[in-house]
Amino acid sequence: MQIQFSEAAPDKNMLVAHVVNQGTMPEGLEPALADGASAARFKGRPGQVFEGFAIRDERLARIALAGAGEADASGRGANLEKAGAALAGKFLRSGVKSMAIDLSGADLSADEAARVLLGLRLRSWAHDVYRTKLAEEKKVTLDSVTVIAAPEGTQDAWAVQDAVATGVEFTRTLVAEPANIVYPISFVERCQKAFEGTGAELTVLDEDEMAKLGMGALLGVGQGSRQPSRLLAIRWNGGKEGEKPTVFVGKGVTFDTGGISIKPAGGMEDMKWDMGGAGAVAGAMLALVGRKAKANVVGVVGLVENMPDGNAQRPGDVVTSMSGQTIEVINTDAEGRLVLCDALHWAQEQYEPARIVDFATLTGAIIISLGNEHGGLFANDDALADDLLAAGKSSGDAMWRMPIGPAYDKLIDSPIADIKNVGPRGGGSITAAQFLGRFIKKGTAWAHCDIAGVVWADKPGATWDKGATGFGVRLIDQFVADTLEG
């Protein structure tokens, strides 16, 4: 989606959209259009869209109104995004190729105008690359938007949101791609291409290098696959020299059969998005690098494929993690924590982070707890938890804090090793977080974000279509902006 700015009036043949606050109409709107909107019960509520026609300069003009809700409502930014997204949802596949958004009289700040454009851009993402017989009327046609009469400073504000949108789109593409296209090595290659020339430093560890470091937990997950495992780190030094970085770690299981503890066949195709945490971290790093964030940040992703092969890890096996802790593998489908524990330990050893936050589609149990509305947040530090909750509320990537603590340790104690990788049926997301907590060094502020219920959607949302949502990118970006750049 190309978004450009112009002071000139739009082409007379172009669809013109206005952003409308609840209970108002654009100044100078033709009475027939106003009457038509009223008859269609258009009130300007968030996400409402009305389309009509009027004669202007002896030509037929196509006009759209997008509702932005009450001007002083809480959640104003989210409502403005809904306005832009609603326009994209209505016209993306409508046959319209270009649209003008006329912001004259909308009474928006530069940041608010940018939020309208962000909503439009996010809702415009589509992944039709493999649909070779798509009917003409279902193809994406809208590819350019011209912004008219934007408030002063909008282009600068949009440059920031444009970088964020690019990160979200990168994540969505990674998550949406099938596992025969995105696997550990190709995930790395896509990142190398995306970050080329940006100033970010990329480090890649292959299986031999990880074996020398003792990453028996991560490597154990991938040993049944013909796709070699990888560890990827993306470093951006945009903050003060010598200041300890904040590190984000992502689970990147590019396909998860469950291994020997194989999953049921029904729905297994969805497990291509079990790398949603790694996707979120990679996309967030692309957003931060793209907007030249004034912060020292590192993204680390552990990339594996979990397959049931003659060489695959067995239930009952004991593996040794990089930290030296031994793990009894009770269930090979609880593999994400095995990937993360080595990635977390390596990141702490390599970067000595000020804070470390991991993102993972870790447990089905978090969906039972929170449904598809919130990600689950676990933390050993209240200040870090509060910062992430605030960033989630502000960005729209909502989180809900869940408990961890020593009382849960007994549930994952192993009779033959230091720890086992699953506990009892109850509190499955909690014991998974508790497992990860054992690999965090004393004194390090850490949070775990279980995003299994929010990286993929079975129906459209405000700013996404069915499929990959890009959850986590905006959360990370907002968190960095609030805590490291504020």
Q: What are residue 399's DSSP bridge partners? A: 375
* One-letter amino acid for residue 31 of the chain: P
Task: Count H helices and E strands in the chain, helices first.
Answer: 13, 19
Longest CA span, the chain: 85
Residue 268 dihedral angles phi and psi, to the nearest 5°: -60, -25
Q: CA 346, CA 210: separation in Å to the nearest integer?
A: 10
Q: CA 385, CA 399: separation in Å to the nearest integer?
A: 10
∠215-217-223 over CA atoms, to 5°?
95
Specify the DSSP element, H or E, that contains 88.
helix 76-91
Q: How far is CA 124 from CA 1, 128, 467, in A?
A: 7, 12, 13
Determine which one of 235, 272, 337, 355 is catalytic: 337
Residue 255 DSSP SS3? strand
* One-letter amino acid for residue 279 of the chain: G
Active site residue 337: yes
Q: How far is CA 41 from CA 89, 99, 303, 328, in A?
A: 19, 24, 50, 61
In this structure, how many other beta carbons lie within 10 angstroms of the beta carbon of residue 155?
A: 16
How much is the CA Rg of the chain, to the nearest whole Å? 24
Residue 336's closest CA among 204, 451, 196, 206? Answer: 451
Specify the DSSP element, H or E, that contains 277.
helix 276-290
Relative orientation angle of helices 154-176 and 473-483, to the nearest 10 degrees: 140
Specify the DSSP element, H or E, that contains 230.
strand 230-237
Determine which one of 263, 393, 401, 438 is catalytic: 263
**Coarse DSSP helix, strand, coil percentages of the chain, rounded to the nearest 5 percent:** 35, 20, 40
Residue 160's closest CA among 469, 484, 474, 483? Answer: 474
Specify the DSSP element, H or E, that contains 429.
helix 428-437
Q: CA 101, CA 94: separation in Å to the nearest integer?
A: 17
In contact, 64 and 17? CB cutoff 8 Å: yes
Q: CA 482, CA 279: separation in Å to the nearest integer?
A: 22
Q: How far is CA 256 from CA 105, 185, 340, 467, in A?
A: 52, 16, 15, 18
Report, as residue numbers or ranges, the catalytic residues: 263, 337
